[in-house]
C-alpha cells in the first residue's frame, strides 16, 4: 500500500486508450469511443468481490453517501459508527440528513458490538462497520446485533480492500459495501470509489443517484428518463482506466504486503511489551498496516516520537490525529458547516463533549499503526523491523 508505488505500463496503456479516443466521460459519446473503462472496472470489482453488482463513483466519500441514500437513510435517522474512522464516514451521514452516533471500538480497532447495542434507539436505522487499517470489525457479533434489531449493516471497507471474513471479501458481508480508490489506498484510481451489493434494487438506485437520476436504460443519453432526483458522483474514464489496471494487481499487492508484514511481525512478536490487534475468528486482513499495542499511553507516545526521529517513517499515532479519531472532531461536535443542518440533526446529535469514550481512548492511546509499503526491498523491511524493535525495547 499504496498502489501508486507501482504505476507502470499497465496503467499507462489503459489511460492512453482513453486519451487516444478523447472521450473522458463514462456516459454517452458512444460513436466516438472504443472503451468503457468505468463499466469494465465495475465488472472487475464485482467479480473480485464475489457480488452481483458494483458501481464505481468519484470517491470513497461518494460511495458512502450513495450507499446511505440507496438504503433510504433519511432525515433524523441515526447511524452508528466508530470513534475511530476517517471523517468521511460521519460527513456522509450528515450529508443525507442523518445523525452520526459515535460508539466505542474494541481491540479489533473496529466497532464494539456491545457498545453498538447499548446505543440503539427507536431512531437507529443502520450500523456502519468501518474496517480500519487493513482489518475488520467483529462482523459475527455486529451481524447478530443488526439482525436482532432489524438494522442495515453498511460496510466501510475503504481501508481494507482484499481482506476476507469467513472466506467472503470484505464489503460483501453487509447489505451494501463501500471502497475508496483514492491516491493512498491499496489500489488507486487517483480519485474514485465503489459500491458493491447483491441487491438489484440498491444497485439501480445507486447508479441513478450518482448521475442526476438517469435510468440508463436506453442508448440515447438525452432520452433517458429520470425516476429520481440525483446528483453528480460520476467517475471519469481516465480515473477508471487507472483502476482497471490496478484491480488486476490487487492480489499481487496483498502478497507483497503480507510478506513485509510477516517479517516485521516475526521480529516484534517476541517483545513482551508488544501485543497485536485482534483479528476476528474467520478474518484475514489485507496486511496494509502493521498495528500493535504498547502497555501505556506514555510509552506509546515515546516510541512513536522516536520512530519519527530515527527514520522509521509512515507510522501513525491515531490518538492525536485530526482526521481519524474523535478527540479533534470539533467540526462534527459543533456541526460547523457551510450549510444549514436540519432541526432533526441539531436535536439528535449527542453532546459529544460529555460522552464517555474512555474505552476507545484506552485502546487507541496505546496503538501504533505502520503503513506497509510495496516498494520496500526485503532488506529494507528487515532493517526497519530491527530498528523498530530496538526503539521499543529501549522506550516501551
Alpha-carbon distances, residue 291 vs 26, 257, 283, 370, 387 (angstroms): 38, 13, 15, 6, 16
- Write the DSSP assignment of 298-354 as a string of letters: HHHHHHHHHHHHTT--SEE-GGG-TTTBGGG-HHHHTT--SSPPPHHHHHHS--TTT
Segments of the chain assigned E as strands: 53-57, 78-82, 99-103, 124-130, 152-156, 164-165, 168-169, 176-180, 193-197, 275-276, 283-284, 289-293, 315-316, 367-371
Which residue in 377, 169, 381 sits closest to 262, CA to CA?
381
| C-alpha cell read off for 29 | 459519446
| Candidate list 37, 175, 185, 205, residue with the active-site label | 185
* Pairing, β 168-169 against β 193-197: unpaired
225 is catalytic: no
Give the Cα separation of 176 and 54 in Å (integer).
10
Please calculate the CA angle 207-127-193 and round it to the nearest 5 degrees: 35
Give the Cα separation of 136 and 113 in Å (integer).
13
Q: How many CB atoms lie within 10 A of CB 301?
A: 18
Residues with Cβ within 8 Å of 223's Cβ and at least 6 positions away in sequence, in order, are: none
Residue with cell 511489551: 273
Half-sphere exposure of 381 (CA within 13 A, CB side): 23
Could you give the 3-state DSSP secondary structure of residue 90? helix
| C-alpha cell read off for 71 | 438504503
Which residue in 60, 34, 5 sits closest to 239, CA to CA?
60
Q: How many CB atoms lie within 10 A of CB 361?
A: 18
Q: How many CB atoms lie within 10 A of CB 313?
A: 11
Contact at 8 Å (CB) between 194 and 179? Answer: yes
Please identify every residue annotated as catalytic. Answer: 185
Amino acid at each position: 500500500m499504496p498502489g501508486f508505488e507501482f504505476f507502470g505500463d499497465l496503467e499507462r496503456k489503459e489511460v492512453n486508450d482513453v486519451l487516444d479516443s478523447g472521450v473522458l466521460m463514462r456516459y454517452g459519446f458512444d460513436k466516438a469511443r472504443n472503451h468503457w473503462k468505468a463499466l469494465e472496472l465495475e465488472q472487475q470489482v464485482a467479480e473480485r468481490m464475489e457480488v452481483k453488482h458494483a458501481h464505481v463513483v468519484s470517491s470513497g466519500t461518494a460511495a458512502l453517501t450513495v450507499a446511505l441514500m440507496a438504503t433510504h437513510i433519511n432525515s433524523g435517522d441515526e447511524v452508528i459508527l466508530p470513534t475511530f474512522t476517517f471523517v468521511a464516514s460521519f460527513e456522509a451521514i450528515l450529508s443525507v440528513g442523518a445523525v452520526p452516533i459515535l460508539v466505542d471500538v474494541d481491540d479489533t480497532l473496529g466497532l464494539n458490538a456491545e457498545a453498538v447495542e447499548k446505543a440503539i434507539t427507536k431512531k437507529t436505522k443502520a450500523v456502519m462497520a468501518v474496517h480500519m487499517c487493513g482489518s475488520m470489525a467483529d462482523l459475527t457479533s455486529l451481524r447478530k446485533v443488526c439482525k436482532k434489531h432489524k438494522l442495515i449493516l453498511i460496510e466501510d471497507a475503504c481501508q481494507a480492500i482484499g481482506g476476507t471474513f469467513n472466506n467472503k471479501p470484505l464489503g460483501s458481508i453487509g447489505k451494501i459495501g463501500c471502497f475508496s480508490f483514492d491516491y493512498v489506498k491499496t489500489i488507486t484510481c487517483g480519485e474514485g470509489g465503489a459500491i458493491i451489493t447483491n441487491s438489484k434494487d440498491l444497485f439501480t438506485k445507486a447508479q441513478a443517484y450518482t448521475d442526476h437520476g438517469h435510468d440508463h436504460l436506453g442508448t440515447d443519453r438525452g432520452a433517458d428518463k429520470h425516476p429520481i432526483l440525483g446528483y453528480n458522483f460520476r467517475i471519469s474514464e481516465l480515473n477508471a482506466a487507472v483502476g482497471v489496471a490496478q484491480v488486476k494487481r490487487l492480489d499481487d499487492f496483498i502478497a507483497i504486503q503480507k510478506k513485509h508484514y510477516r517479517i516485521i511481525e516475526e521480529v516484534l512478536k517476541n517483545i513482551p511489551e508488544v501485543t497485536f490487534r485482534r483479528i476476528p475468528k474467520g478474518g484475514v486482513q489485507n496486511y496494509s498496516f502493521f498495528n500493535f499495542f504498547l502497555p501505556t499511553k506514555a510509552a506509546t507516545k515515546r516510541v512513536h516520537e522516536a520512530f519519527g526521529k530515527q527514520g522509521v517513517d509512515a507510522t501513525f499515532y491515531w490518538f492525536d490525529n485530526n482526521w481519524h479519531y474523535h478527540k479533534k472532531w470539533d467540526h462534527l461536535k459543533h456541526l460547523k458547516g457551510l450549510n444549514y443542518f436540519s432541526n432533526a440533526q441539531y436535536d439528535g446529535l449527542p453532546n459529544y463533549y460529555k460522552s464517555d469514550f474512555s474505552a476507545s481512548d484506552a485502546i487507541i492511546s496505546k496503538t501504533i499503526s505502520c503503513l506497509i509499503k510495496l516498494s520496500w526491498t526485503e532488506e529494507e523491511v528487515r532493517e526497519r523491523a530491527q530498528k523498530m524493535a530496538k526503539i521499543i525495547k529501549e522506550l516501551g
